[in-house]
Structure 1
Amino acid sequence: MDVFDKLTILTDAAKYDVACTSSGAGDTAPAGAGMGSTENCGICHTWSADGRCVSLLKVLMTNVCAFDCKYCVNRRSNDTPRAAFTPKELADLTMSFYRRNYIEGLFLSSGVQRDPDYATEQIIQALELLRGPYHFTGYIHAKAIPGADPLLIGRLGQLANRLSVNIELPSQRSLALLAPNKTKQNILAPMAAIRDGITESKQSLVKYKKAPKFAPAGQSTQMIVGATLETDYQILRLTEGLYQKYSLKRVFFSAYIPVAEDTLLPSPDTKPPLLREHRLYQADWLLRYYQFSSQEILDEEHQDFNPFLDPKCNWAINHMELFPVEVNRAPYEMLLRVPGIGPVSARRIARARRAGKLDWDDLKRIGVVLKRAQYFLLCKGRGLPGLAVTRQNTVKALIDGAPVAQAEQLSLFGTEDRPRLAEVKEVAAECLASAM
């Protein structure tokens, strides 16, 4: 098997790992009819700290795996083509892509060939070639294999910019059911080791500018959504706990895609829960940037997301007693809770109102989404002129901004079905308003 054949197999096998921002271009020309397609070469994209889009080669070291996780296309019992790079092959391929300006970095994961230690050693050997003889200083995101020796994890952190350990499933019970070779302990232990290594590295850099850096871009994880029966509330609570205890940069959510028939898994005909994944990402942003807690977004009585309203709008509708707020006096923390106002526009409001009182035109120039915010704000003690603020009007306006077509995941909401879409929104608004 030549290197290109291995590349084809191992980039395709890596596409289910979403702990990276995107999977690259999706539109490709017919064979021989165009240039520039990156999809089949495993090029994906992420963003650097300064906002640049960075292209990465997303690939597995090998899809040979000793584990038999039932949700995984690379599991031991699956009949799929297998391949494995040698460390030198992967390093040479990465440098070849880099010199041709296809990529700026590498996203490297691996199946568990033989055992976790051996798989991690193979990754380390490839990265040592890149960082050493090949003098590659670009971005590298490497996967830490659950169950690997802490010393190997430590070496991996010295070579990679970011590390990630996939938690995969939201509970120990689900792991025991679908991933019998993995345990909560051997997943969380390397997370803790990475957290401690990052902390120690930061402390050393304060004292010594040339101290070696350990995973300077932090760590992340991935969680599969929809393969097991955990509620959105349970997943969100776990997400919050991971941020607090392990100082993660990101928790990525992956809507379960049926890859095999198994009585323990959803039917192969089941559609991926894309709306649920979308709502989890929205809630994740509320945890990280909007100063919400998981208990405010969902609770024991409401354990699943509203299909018609995003989590922030849903919270606002359920706490109408707190609104409207005066934009010229409301604290920053309260501005963040207004639908249509994000962290950037909240900071702009806080700065601008020092020079004088703001009006509705000022808010529009600042970047506030008035279509939503107008129902929750006062400017100079007054609401927007001519606006009738009722619960039903507010709910309907917020639904209009929600991805209802995605929520239904139906093709009937195409261009020719706009009247049907409007009817659904109207009915949803009435139902929501009467239920609150």
Structure 2
Amino acid sequence: METIVKLKVLADAAKYDASCASSGSKRSNTRGGLGNSDGTGICHSYTPDGRCVSLLKILFTNHCVYDCRYCINRVSNDVKRARFSVDEVVDLTIGFYKRNYIEGLFLSSGVIRDPDYTMDQLTEVARKLREDHRFNGYIHLKAVVGASEEALMRAGKHADRLSANIELPSQEDLDKLAPEKTIDGAEGAMTSIKGGLDASAGRQTDAAKASSLTRGRAALGRRDRFAPAGQSTQMIVGATATPDADILATANRLYGRHGLKRVYYTAYSPIEKGHYDLPTKAPPLVREHRLYQSDWLLRFYGFGIDELRQGVVGADGNLDLEVDPKTAWALANRHFFPVDLNRAPRESMLRVPGLGVRTVNRLIGIRRHRSIRLEDLKKLRVAMKRCSPFVVAADGWGGTRGLDADGLRAQLVGTRKDVPQLSLFA
């Protein structure tokens, strides 16, 4: 099979993996080297489904020994198969980079032979790029769940980011749709990666020091910068009946245990020749969006998982699709408001709908010199419709109605005409 045909097959097969952001790593060019990786990334190439990305995003192969029912590349599915050689991926990456199409590589794969063999193939691509071609661009490798710790350590020496996908939020879900996989297996890979990250940063625990791999990890040191952009994972949303509250609880646990940079939520997309156990209709994409918003509340706004469970999700355990989760929390906790922008601590200001982290930091900087007025919010381009009912400034309260008004939710949500949802991969 010609390389260009393989590229069409394996680039299309990679579109379902969303965990390919290029942020979080900075790698400068060296004399005689090729390229560099900047934390801001670029947007020069397009995937077959129209997404603008900065990476060559492909699978090494779509052959796979597993039979995950939600995956188009499962072993029992009748799809066109292809497999790159290591040199083909290297040549494609260098060729696309020199043509200014990409800034880096996102390389995933189906599992062939066994996890260690597959991980070693991906690592060899990264090694050749780094050592043979002195490529300094961004490289994101999929961490194959089930691969040995030694194999993951080798991968992290050359990759900027590793991602071990947990796939589904609970073992019950995996037992139903991917019985060959386990939550413990995915978290085991994350634990190994975190060990490499800690060793590279000089944060070895007593347990790590006692590990048989301590010398190998310590040898990474700061010079080799083990996976400097950290690790991430991905969960599929809507393939099972698991509610948003449980999905967020799983994400919160992963952030706490493994120090993940990010959890990606991917709305399930019905696939051709899908299994009868799977839903025939995709969940609304706004559900995926609400999960990302809630994720940010956990990571950047100081919310606890119990607060989201009690004040944001509904009786069915799912997020409100009409309002963003911070507004939902504010409506459920009206006793907390209004927040005085000139006296309230930063933590309280971050709970106001419409105020982001950057805006709050700017407001704190302003009030060191003078009182904050409602006009300041407008100058900072704050969404006044969402923010004003919940704040007090030097010139008074911003709300036009009381916080206990029955119509406050309708005032914030407004009236929206039904708009047909576009298919992500149409």
Same fold (TM over 0.5): yes
Q: In the superposition, relative to structure 1, how do residues 315 and 398 fare at CA in structure 2: closer, same or farther (>3 Å)?
A: same
Q: For 2:417 and 2:136, how far apart are their aligned partners in 1? A: 44
Indicate which of 359, 374, 392 corresponds to 1:360: 374
In the TM superposition, what are the counterparts of 1:19-418 in structure 2 within 5 Å?
19-21=19-21, 38-40=46-48, 44-45=52-53, 55-203=54-202, 211-259=223-271, 260-267=273-280, 270-299=281-310, 302=315, 303-380=317-394, 382-384=396-398, 387-389=400-402, 391-400=405-414, 405=418, 409=421
> What is the CA distance between 1:182 and its match in structure 2?
1.0
- Aligned AA (1:389): G
Q: Tell me what 2:41 maps to.
A: none
Q: Tell me what 1:3 maps to.
A: 3
- Aligned AA (1:246): H
* Contact 1:10-1:62 within 8 A present in 2 as well: yes
- Of 59-68 and 255-264, more deviation after overlay is shown by 255-264
Secondary structure, aligned partner of 1:223: strand
Instruction: Return the TM-score normalized by structure 2.
Output: 0.85
Q: Return structure 1 stretches of 4+ with deviation > 4 angstroms.
A: 41-44, 204-210, 403-406, 408-411
Instruction: Please give the per-residue CA displacement for 1:126-168, whole angstroms capped at 9, x wherever unaligned.
Output: 1111011111110001001111111000000111000000100
- Structure 2: where are the runs of 5+ without partners? 23-43, 205-217
- Aligned AA (2:2): D
Q: For 1:209 and 1:376, how far apart are their aligned partners in 2? A: 49
Q: For 1:41 and 1:395, how far apart are their aligned partners in 2? A: 36
Q: For 1:176 and 1:140, how far apart are their aligned partners in 2? A: 32
Q: In the superposition, relative to structure 1, how do residues 113 and 207 fare at CA in structure 2: closer, same or farther (>3 Å)?
A: closer
> What is the CA distance between 1:40 and its match in structure 2?
3.6
> What is the CA distance between 1:173 and its match in structure 2?
1.3
Bigger RCO (CA 8 Å, 6+ sep) = 2
Q: In the superposition, relative to structure 1, how do residues 371 and 108 fare at CA in structure 2: closer, same or farther (>3 Å)?
A: same
* Contact 1:328-1:353 within 8 A present in 2 as well: yes
Secondary structure, aligned partner of 1:375: helix
* Contact 2:63-2:81 within 8 A present in 1 as well: yes
- Aligned AA (2:378): K
Q: Tell me what 1:422 maps to.
A: none
Aligned residues: 384
Q: For 2:220 and 2:146, how far apart are their aligned partners in 1? A: 32
Q: For 2:368 and 2:58, how far apart are their aligned partners in 1? A: 51
Q: For 2:48 and 2:340, how far apart are their aligned partners in 1? A: 53
- Cα RMSD of the aligned pairs, angstroms, is 2.5
Instruction: Please give the per-residue CA displacement for 1:388-408, whole angstroms capped at 9, x wherever unaligned.
Output: 33523421232139x8757x8
* Contact 2:90-2:129 within 8 A present in 1 as well: yes
* Contact 1:44-1:57 within 8 A present in 2 as well: no
- Structure 1: where are the runs of 5+ without partners? 23-35, 46-54, 412-436
Secondary structure, aligned partner of 1:357: coil
Q: For 2:396 and 2:367, how far apart are their aligned partners in 1? A: 16
* Contact 2:156-2:227 within 8 A present in 1 as well: yes
Instruction: Return the TM-score normalized by structure 1.
Output: 0.83
> What is the CA distance between 1:204 and its match in structure 2?
7.7
- Of 170-179 and 256-265, more deviation after overlay is shown by 256-265
> What is the CA distance between 1:379 and its match in structure 2?
1.3
